Amino acid sequence: MTSSRTDPLPGARATTAPPAAGAAGRAHRQVRGGRRRHRWDARFSPYAFIAPFFLFFAAFGLFPLLYTGWASLHRVSLHDPTHMEWVGLQNFSRLLEDDFFWNALRNTFTIGVLSTVPQLLMALGLAHLLNYKLRGSTFFRVAVLTPYATSVAAATLVFAMLFGRDYGMINWALGLVGIDHVDWENGTWTSQLAVSAIVVWRWTGYNALIYLAAMQAVPHDLYESAALDGASRWQQFRHVTVPSLRPTILFTVVVSTIGATQLFGEPLLFGGSQTGGGSHQYQTLGLYLYEQGWFNFQLGRASAIAWAMLLILIAVGLLNWLIARRLGRTR
Amino acid sequence: MPATLRRRTPGSRPGGRPGTEADDATEGHTRADGTGTARRGRGPRLRKAGGAGRQLHAGPFAYAVLVLFTVGSLFPLVWTAIAASRDNQRLAETPPPFWFGGNLFANLTTAWQDANMGKALVNTVFVAGCITLSTVLFATLAGYAFAKLRFRAKNLLLMMVIGTMMVPPQLSVVPLFMAVAELEWTNQLQAVILPMMVNAFGVFFMRQYLTGALPTELIEAARVDGAHSLRIVWHVVFPVARPAMAVLGMLTFVLAWNEFFWPIIALTQDNPTVQVALTGLGRGYIPDESVIMAGALLGTLPLLIAFTLFGKQIVGGVMQGAVKG
């Protein structure tokens, strides 16, 4: 492309002298211009390539994040969201005295533990099995990833039926082994277990595949020398696989924690209400934010909850970072 | 974190092509830690000798557990179809049904019409399609810049990209809602498309892929030939990135299809996406359990079909650079 631009016209040079000189001069200028354009292009094109991402992020990520902080210092009604009345830190101080907030925080934590721990442990075991030489390994991998393709809404609707008190399949199966009907939705622990089960179902296979990818990167000679030292399969798993996977495990813990902090769709649709059960027994922070903003019409308070969530996430992130650093040092 | 995302062994890279040696060299350079380079440095020879041959064979116990996991993963979906093929009365009896009944078509029709699932599906295809196209395009551009171009504050900006992955959607809904109210965009699809047009995971995913798969020499050669940047992107970067773009497209489509929190705030039952319509069903919009299950089935079926067709590629994509959206 540039070559056609910088080539002086051959015909022009052949005919008459003065225009030829002019053409050559023009061509020279064009080469210089081309080079300048080239340098300019090389210098600024990277910014042009990353600009769309950052522009969209600034408009729909960063600005809303900061504006949420600003809104949390105001009283804002859902009915008239442009009218903001300054109240200082009142929304936050109210939160500290709000039993429902602490309840939601507690529930988020317990459901987070109930869903994350079994999920990751099962994923680790599943990945270990998938790492064997298998017939139909692709089938197994796709099958365990299928729940990931199921939306929160669809999955929760199905599980709400399976966990039904009177006609649910789980109570029916428990009845076969002599356990009386469990009222899953109305109990605190039972409802939190049921909500956690949905999360575990959706994400176990996904995490297993992450672990599997990490396991495949562990050099085989490590296992070989462990086997030479007489390590059993279980010892190999404990002393070779798990330590090699440490960064991956830490990473999945971080991601699952973030996911657990935002948990919203499962508790909303499990009972079909923003209160998270009759006595708020499985209302999470995300759900409480939604209730405050879109059912109590208090957008300012909803913003304060959102920022509380952010602070919790930052604290969790710092904690993880400290643990990672400690682990890295002791090694 | 990066350790997880970086994991890509030479054998598993989809776009294996001539010039791989060179890529490996460049990738070795760009890697921050020593282990990756060392592993890579040992190269294909060891892999050939030690690859699948030394992998342990699964015993019957392993198969049994895997079958159990498979059944556990698929059963709720199969049961959705069973419940959708029954009627409300049968679902209020014990034992619950374990085989299909004859009501599937009737329930699907009811869900399609009364629960607005038909419109929801059309809307969702459009929304997820737009989000996928723009995400893949912008992620490839930015990923290419981060992988292969030199510019100021590159590492800082890349850290910012990674940082944005951590921000939960709850932190933006209030201002977005205010903006939508101000613009009177409630119930309009652009309200749910625009905020999802880019995705930090996509940028990171493409960067990881292009760092390894795109030989720097190729770009330099094109530049020496006088090609300007857009031309290089079109003729060099896109062809190399195509396999990763396809995988990213599929992952993005799944996530966009299942996007939940913001759509249920921005849209109502008059102009829903699939998830909004399902939320309506879950809140007792239609108090018929078999119709609810039919709706759940309709809303999941397109992705399940995609999974049966492209399951292998999606699995590969998740394993290549997996981060929850």
Cβ neighbours of residue B270 under 8 Å, at least 6 residues apart? B187
pLDDT of A233 higher than 90: no
Closest-approach residue (CA) in chain B for A83: B178
Cβ of residue A166 closer than 8 Å to a chain B Cβ: yes
- Structure tokens of B152? 């100021």
pLDDT band at B317 (very low <50, low <70, confident <90, very high): confident
Question: Cβ of B261 and A214 within 8 Å?
Answer: no
Q: How many Cβ contacts (< 8 angstroms) between chains A and B? A: 345
Counting Cβ atoms within 10 Å, is residue B270 exposed (0-12), middle (13-18) or buried (19+)? Answer: exposed
d(CA B311, CA B82): 23
pLDDT at site A288:
94
**Where is A81: in which H helix or E strand?**
strand A80-86
pLDDT of the residue at A167: 80
- The more confidently predicted of residues B293 and A19 is B293
Q: Give the pLDDT confidence score for residue B86 in this predicted structure.
A: 86
> In this predicted structure, what is the pLDDT of residue B324?
34
Give the pLDDT score at B289: 84
Q: Is A2 on the interface with B (CB under 8 A)?
A: yes
3-state secondary structure of A121: helix
Report whether pLDDT(B145) > 90. Answer: yes
Instruction: Decide if pLDDT at A90 tops 70.
Output: yes
Answer yes or no: do A153 and B164 touch at CB < 8 A.
no
pLDDT at B89 over 60: yes
B310 closest CA partner among A101, A138, A187, A45: A138
Q: Would you say A253 and B1 are in contact if contact means Cβ atoms under 8 Å apart?
A: no
pLDDT at A102 over 60: yes
Interface of A with B in 94-153 (CB under 8 A): 125-126, 129-134, 138-153
Best interface-test mutation with A: which of B315, B320, B323 has the largest number of A CBs within 10 A? B315
Q: Which of B170, B197, B282 sits opposite A306 (nearest CB)?
A: B170
Contact flag B170-A262 (C-beta cutoff 8 Å): yes
**Any chain B CB within 8 A of the CB of A272?**
yes
Q: Do A145 and B227 touch (CB under 8 A)?
A: no
CB contact under 8 A, B4 and A210: yes
The burial class, CB within 10 Å (0-12 / 13-18 / 19+), for B154 is: middle
Distances (CA, A) of A315 to A309, B212, B248: 10, 34, 31
Higher pLDDT among residues B45 and A137, named by residue: A137
In the block, residue with structure tokens 């921050």: B32
Contact A140 B228 (CB under 8 A): no
- Closest alpha carbon within chain A to B266: A294
Average pLDDT on B215-238 reads 88
Q: Residue ranges per domain, chain B?
A: 115-320
Q: Is pLDDT above 70 for B114?
A: yes
A319 vs B: CB within 8 A: no
B241 and B304 in contact (C-beta within 8 Å)?
A: no
Q: Residue B3 has what pLDDT?
A: 37
Among A4-13, A200-209, A268-277, B84-93, name the one with the lowest average pLDDT. A4-13
pLDDT for position A30:
54
Please provide the average confidence, as pLDDT, over all residues in chain A. Answer: 84
Contact call for A46 and B145, based on CB within 8 A: yes
Task: Concatenate the DSSP letters of all residues of B118-184 into one string.
Answer: HHHHHHHHHHHHHHHHHHHHHHHHHHHHHHH---TTHHHHHHHHHHHTT--GGGTHHHHHHHHHHHT
CB-nearest partner of B258 from A151, A172, A309: A151
Quote the pLDDT of residue B30.
37
Q: Which two tokens stand for residue B37?
A: 């380079």
User: Which of A43, A150, A212 to mutate to test binding with chain B, by most B CBs within 10 Å of its CB?
Assistant: A150
pLDDT at site A224: 85
Q: Is a pLDDT exceeding 90 seen at residue A268?
A: yes
Partner residue opposite B166 with nearest CB, options A160, A258, A286: A258
Q: In chain B, what percentage of residues exceed pLDDT 90?
A: 34
- Residue B39: pLDDT above 50? no
The pLDDT confidence band at residue B147, using thresholds 50, 70 and 90, is very high
| Contact yes or no for B142 and A150 at CB 8 A | no
A248 vs B: CB within 8 A:
yes
In percent, how much of chain B has pLDDT > 70?
81
Find out whether A223 and A240 touch, Cβ atoms under 8 Å: yes
Residue type, B37: T
Instruction: Indicate the DSSP class of residue A39.
Output: H
In A199-277, the DSSP E strands lie at none
Confidence (pLDDT) at A241: 87
- Listing DSSP states for A250-264 in one string gives HHHHHHHHHHHHT--
- Is the predicted pLDDT of residue A77 greater than 70, yes or no? yes
Q: What are phi and psi of A77, to 5 degrees?
A: -95, 145
Query: B195 and B129 in contact (C-beta within 8 Å)?
Result: no
Residue B12 vs residue A277, higher pLDDT: A277
| Mean pLDDT confidence for A324-329 | 75
Q: What is the number of alpha carbons within 13 Å of residue A310 lying toward its C-beta?
A: 22
Q: What burial class does residue A82 get, using C-beta atoms within 10 Å of its C-beta: 0-12 exposed, 13-18 middle, 19+ buried?
A: exposed
Closest-CA residue to B325 (of B204, B160, B223) = B204
Which residue in A has a C-alpha nearest to residue B226's C-alpha? Answer: A2
pLDDT reported for residue B251: 87
How many angstroms away from the CA of B31 is the closest CA of chain A? 16
Q: Residue A33: its pLDDT value, please?
A: 59
Mean pLDDT of A98-114: 94
Distance, CA of B217 to CA of B26 (rounded, Å): 10
- Most confident segment among A97-106, A247-256, B168-177: A97-106
A207 vs chain B: nearest CA distance in angstroms? 9
Assess whether pLDDT exceeds 90 at residue B281. no
Percent residues over pLDDT 70 in chain A: 88
Q: Span A254-283, mean pLDDT?
A: 89
Q: Which long-range contacts (CB under 8 A, 24 or more apart) does A79-83 make?
A: A79/A297, A81/A299, A81/B177, A81/B178, A81/B181, A81/B182, A82/B178, A82/B181, A82/B182
- CATH number of the B115-320 domain: 1.10.3720.10
Q: What is the pLDDT of residue A34?
A: 63
Contact A149 B289 (CB under 8 A): no
**pLDDT number for residue A31:** 55
Give me the phi and psi of B291, to 5 degrees please: -70, -40
State the average pLDDT over residues A191-197.
95
- Mean pLDDT of the region B174-180: 90
Q: What is the tens place of the pLDDT at every residue in B57-66?
A: 778 888 999 9
pLDDT at A62 over 50: yes
Beta-carbon contacts of residue B286 (< 8 Å; ≥ 6 apart): B110, B111, B114, B115, B292
Comparing CA positions, the residue from A234, A311, A153 lying closest to residue B275 is A153
More confident residue, B260 or A16: B260
pLDDT computed for residue B4 by the predictor: 39
Q: Which of A37-41, B207-211, B237-241, B262-266 has the least mean pLDDT?
A: A37-41
Distance from C-alpha of A64 to C-alpha of B170, rounded to nearest angstrom: 10
Instruction: Please answer whether residues A283 and A107 qualify as being in contact, where contact means their C-beta atoms are separated by less than 8 angstroms.
Output: yes
Go through B44-57 and write b for each residue having 16 or more CB atoms within 10 A of its CB, e for each that does not.
Answer: eeebeebeeeeeee
Neighbours of B42 (CB within 10 A): 13
Report, as an integer, the average pLDDT of A18-35.
53
CB B258 within 8 A of CB B302: no
Is the distance from CB of B205 to CB of B244 less than 8 angstroms?
yes
Task: State pTM to two decimals.
Answer: 0.81
Read off the pLDDT band of A307 (50, 70, 90).
very high
Task: End-to-end CA distance of chain A: give it in Å, rounded.
Answer: 56
Determine the residue of chain B that is closest to A158 in CA distance.
B80
The confidence score (pLDDT) of residue A290 equals 94
pLDDT at B249: 93
Q: What is the pLDDT of residue B41?
A: 37
Could you read off the pLDDT of A111-148 as tens digits, one per residue?
999 999 999 999 999 999 998 888 888 999 999 999 99
Q: Which of A35, A36, A139, A158 would best serve as a mutation to test chain B binding (most B beta carbons within 10 A)?
A: A158
B91, B289 contact by CB (below 8 A): yes
pLDDT at position A179, please?
Answer: 83
Residue A331 pLDDT level (bands cut at 50, 70, 90):
low
pLDDT at A258 over 50: yes
List for chain B the helix, strand, coil content (%; round to 5): 75, 0, 25
The whole-angstrom separation of Cα B14 and Cα B10 is: 9
